[in-house]
C-alpha cells in the first residue's frame, strides 16, 4: 500500500467516526480494525501496529474529552497523537551552528543518495545559504556528472575528479577547496555500498576522520520497508552525530514500514524525499506528516511553501484568495497550477489545506507537466473573451480551438472539464475553513 493509499485508508477510518450518529464501543473497535489493516498493508511492523492500536482503543474508550471538545474530535486527536508517536513525535531539524557546516552523506547503493545530495543542496540554497558539494564517489564514474547536471542550473558548485581513485583524498581536498571559497555549507557525497552495511560504516569512519563533519547523514530507500530498521540501527550505533533521510516516499509501497522502522531505532529522521524533482525534499516533522496523512491539513507547511514560491514567481494574496474561493478564469487557473507545481506535487500541496484530505477527485489534481503544456497550447488558440468567460465555448468554438492548437476536441473538452472541476470543488469548500485560511494568509 503506497503512502497515498495509506492516507486514504486512515482518512476513511476517521470519517466513520465523524459521520456516526453516536460513538460506541462497537464503532471504536471497528475503526481500530480499519487502522490496523491499513498500517499492516503499508508494511508497518505487526507488533508495533498491535501496540499502537491497543493504546488508541484504550484511550478512546476510557478517556473523557476535555471541556469544549466532542468525543468524536477527541478520538480523532487520539489517533493523530498515537500515530505521531509511532513516527518519532518531534521534528529534529539540521541546525547550522557554525560556518562552514560540513555534512557527510552515506547510503546503500541504489538508495537515491546522489540525487538526495543535490536536493539537500538546493534546500539550503533556497534558504539563503551558499552551498558547495564535494563528490568523493570513486566507485561510480557517473556520480560527478550526475551532480553537475542536477546542480549546474542552480549555480551550486560541485568539486570532484572522476579520475581520482582515493575517496578520502577527494573528500579532504574538496572540503579545503570550499573553505577557501567561504561557503556556508559543504555537503560531501560518498560512494554507495552494496547491501553489506559494514563497508558503508567503515568508509564513513575513514572520511569522518579526514574531514571531521558536523553531521553524518544516512540515506535510506523508503521502498525497503521494515528492512530499514537494521540499516538505521547499525548507523546509529556507529555515529553519535547521525541523522537520516528516507527517500522515495512519493509512490513507495512500503513507506509506512520504513518510516516506522527507522523511528523505532530512535535515529532522527531529518528529511523525507517525496518526489523526483530537485525541490521534492521536505524537513520531516512527524506531527505535520501525520496531520496531512489523516487529511487534517498542514497550514504551517503550506505557508512555508508559499514563502518559498514568492521568492521565485509572482504569487499575490489576491491570487491565493481567487484560487481558494474558486473565482478564477482559465488564465488564472493555468497560472496558479503552474505556480503550485513549483511548490511540489499539486496533490501534496492541496492536502495541506485543512478539510480537503482525500476528498479531492483525482481528475482535479492530476495535472502533470505534459498536460499543462497541452493546456497552454490550447489556450493560446482561444480568444480573450473565451479565456475570461469559458462558459461561452460551444462545440463549434471547440472545433476551431482544436484546429488552431493542433489538438483534438477531446483535448479541449478535457481542459474545460479540469477548469469546471476545480471551480466547482473550491466553491463547495466549507466557508469557515476558507475564512480561517484567509486570516492565516492575511487576506
Is residue 95's pLDDT more than 80? yes
CA distance 195 to 206: 19
**Each residue of 61-90: pLDDT tens digit?**
998 887 777 888 788 888 888 888 888 877
Give the number of other CB atoms < 10 A from CB of residue 334.
Answer: 21
Percent of the chain scored above 70 by pLDDT?
A: 76
For residue 393, the 8-state DSSP code is -
**Computed from CA positions of residues 76, 77, 80, 86, in that sequence, does the dihedral angle turn out positive or negative?**
negative
Domains of the chain: 2-89+299-305 (1.20.120.140), 101-284 (3.40.50.300), 314-439 (1.10.260.30)
Instruction: State yes or no: pLDDT of 189 exceeds 80.
Output: yes
Average pLDDT across the chain, whole number: 79
pLDDT, mean of residues 302-331: 57
Q: 263 with 44: CB under 8 angstroms?
A: no
Rounded to 10°, the helix 167-181/197-211 angle is 40
Asked whether residue 113 is marked as a ligand-binding residue, the answer is: yes
* Strand, helix or coil for residue 246: strand
189-198, 276-285, 358-367 — which one is most confidently predicted on average?
276-285
H-type alpha helices, 164-227: 167-181, 197-211
pLDDT higher than 90, residue 183: yes
Is 107 annotated as a binding-site member?
A: yes
Which pLDDT score, from 0 to 100, does residue 413 have?
92
CB 282 within 8 A of CB 89: no
| pLDDT, mean of residues 96-103 | 92
Give Cβ neighbours of residue 247 (< 8 Å, ≥ 6 apart): 111, 112, 115, 116, 219, 220, 221, 222, 272, 273
More confident residue, 372 or 344: 372
Please give the Cα distance from 137 to 146 (Å, whole number): 11
Annotated binding-site residue? 190: yes
Residue 280 main-chain phi, psi, to 5 deg: -90, 60
Tens digits of residue pLDDT in 250-273: 766 677 888 888 888 888 889 999
pLDDT at 47 over 90: no
The pLDDT, as a whole number, for residue 330 is 81
User: Does 114 belong to an annotated binding site?
Assistant: yes
Place of cell 547510503: 107
Cβ count near 121 (within 10 Å): 28
Distance, CA of 136 to CA of 165 (rounded, Å): 9
Mean of pLDDT values over 410-429: 77
CA angle 239, 232, 257 (to 5 degrees): 160
How far apart are the C-alpha atoms of 218 and 208, rounded to whole Å? 13
Which residues have C-beta within 8 Å of that of residue 345, sequence separation ≥ 6?
A: 250, 274, 275, 280
Q: Tell me the three state secondary structure of residue 420.
A: helix
User: Is residue 111 annotated as involved in ligand binding?
Assistant: yes
Q: Is 110 annotated as a binding residue?
A: yes
Beta partners for residue 93, in sequence order? none
Name the β-bridge partners of 218: 106, 244
Q: What is the pLDDT of residues 373-406, one digit of tens each?
A: 788 889 889 998 998 888 899 999 999 999 999 9
Beta bridge partners of 271: 245, 283
What is the average per-residue pLDDT within 193-212? 76
Q: What's the pLDDT score for residue 311?
A: 53
Predicted confidence band of residue 348 (pLDDT cuts 50, 70, 90): low
Distance, CA of 319 to CA of 310 (rounded, Å): 12
pLDDT of residue 167: 87
- Reading phi first (left if > 0) and then psi (alpha if -120 to 50, else beta), residue 220 is in beta
pLDDT tens digits for 129-180? 999 999 998 878 788 999 999 999 999 999 999 888 888 899 999 999 999 9
* Neighbouring residues of 370: CB distance < 8 A, sequence distance ≥ 6: none
Are 262 and 230 in contact by the 8 Å Cβ rule? The answer is no
* CA torsion angle 267 271 276 278 (round to 10): -140
**Average pLDDT in the 211-224 region?**
90
Q: Is 102 among the annotated ligand-binding positions? A: no
| 28, burial (CB in 10 Å: exposed 0-12, middle 13-18, buried 19+) | buried
Annotated binding residue at 121? Answer: no
Interatomic CA distance for residues 440 and 303, integer angstroms = 9
The distance from CA 436 to its chain's CA centroid, rounded to whole angstroms, is 24
Amino acid at each position: 500500500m503506497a503512502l497515498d493509499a495509506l492516507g486514504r485508508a486512515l482518512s476513511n477510518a476517521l470519517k466513520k467516526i465523524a459521520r456516526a450518529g453516536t460513538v460506541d464501543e462497537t464503532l471504536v473497535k471497528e475503526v481500530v480494525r480499519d487502522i490496523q489493516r491499513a498500517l499492516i498493508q503499508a508494511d508497518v511492523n505487526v507488533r508495533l501496529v498491535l501496540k499502537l492500536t491497543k493504546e488508541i482503543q484504550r484511550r478512546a474508550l476510557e478517556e473523557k474529552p476535555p471541556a469544549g471538545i466532542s468525543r468524536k474530535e477527541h478520538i480523532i486527536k487520539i489517533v493523530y497523537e498515537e500515530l505521531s508517536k509511532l513516527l518519532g513525535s518531534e521534528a529534529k531539524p539540521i541546525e547550522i551552528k557554525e560556518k562552514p557546516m560540513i555534512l557527510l552523506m552515506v547510503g546503500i547503493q541504489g538508495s537515491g543518495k546522489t540525487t538526495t545530495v543535490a536536493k539537500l543542496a538546493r534546500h539550503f540554497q533556497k534558504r539563503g545559504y551558499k552551498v558547495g558539494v564535494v563528490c568523493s564517489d570513486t566507485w561510480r564514474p557517473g556520480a560527478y556528472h550526475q551532480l553537475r547536471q542536477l546542480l549546474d542550473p542552480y549555480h551550486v558548485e560541485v568539486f570532484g575528479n572522476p579520475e581520482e581513485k582515493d575517496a578520502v583524498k577527494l573528500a579532504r581536498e574538496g572540503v579545503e577547496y570550499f573553505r577557501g571559497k567561504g561557503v556556508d555549507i559543504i555537503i560531501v557525497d560518498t560512494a554507495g555500498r552494496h547491501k553489506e552495511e559494514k563497508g558503508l560504516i567503515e568508509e564513513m569512519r575513514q572520511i569522518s576522520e579526514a574531514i571531521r563533519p558536523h553531521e553524518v547523514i544516512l540515506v535510506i530507500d523508503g521502498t525497503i520497508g521494515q528492512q530499514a530498521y537494521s540499516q538505521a540501527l547499525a548507523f546509529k550505533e556507529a555515529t553519535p552525530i547521525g541523522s537520516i533521510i528516507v527517500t522515495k516516499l512519493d509512490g513507495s509501497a512500503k513507506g509506512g514500514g520504513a518510516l516506522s522502522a527507522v523511528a523505532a531505532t530512535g535515529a532522527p529522521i531529518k528529511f523525507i524525499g517525496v518526489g523526483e524533482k530537485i525541490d521534492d525534499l521536505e524537513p520531516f516533522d512527524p506531527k505535520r506528516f501525520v496531520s496531512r496523512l489523516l487529511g487534517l491539513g498542514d497550514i504551517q507547511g503550506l505557508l512555508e511553501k508559499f514563502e518559498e514560491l514568492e521568492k521565485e514567481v509572482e504569487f499575490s494574496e489576491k491570487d491565493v484568495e481567487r484560487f481558494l474561493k474558486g473565482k478564477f478564469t482559465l488564465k488564472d487557473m493555468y497560472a496558479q497550477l503552474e505556480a503550485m507545481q513549483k511548490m511540489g506535487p499539486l496533490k501534496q500541496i492541496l492536502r495541506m489545506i485543512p478539510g480537503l484530505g482525500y476528498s479531492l477527485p483525482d481528475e482535479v489534481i492530476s495535472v502533470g507537466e505534459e498536460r499543462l503544456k497541452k493546456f497552454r497550447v490550447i489556450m493560446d488558440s482561444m480568444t480573450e473573451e473565451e479565456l475570461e468567460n469559458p462558459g461561452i465555448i460551444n462545440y463549434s468554438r471547440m472545433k476551431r480551438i482544436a484546429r488552431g492548437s493542433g489538438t483534438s476536441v477531446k483535448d479541449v473538452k478535457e481542459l474545460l472539464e479540469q477548469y469546471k472541476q476545480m471551480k466547482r470543488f473550491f466553491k463547495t469548500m466549507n466557508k469557515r475553513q476558507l475564512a480561517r485560511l484567509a486570516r492565516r494568509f492575511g487576506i
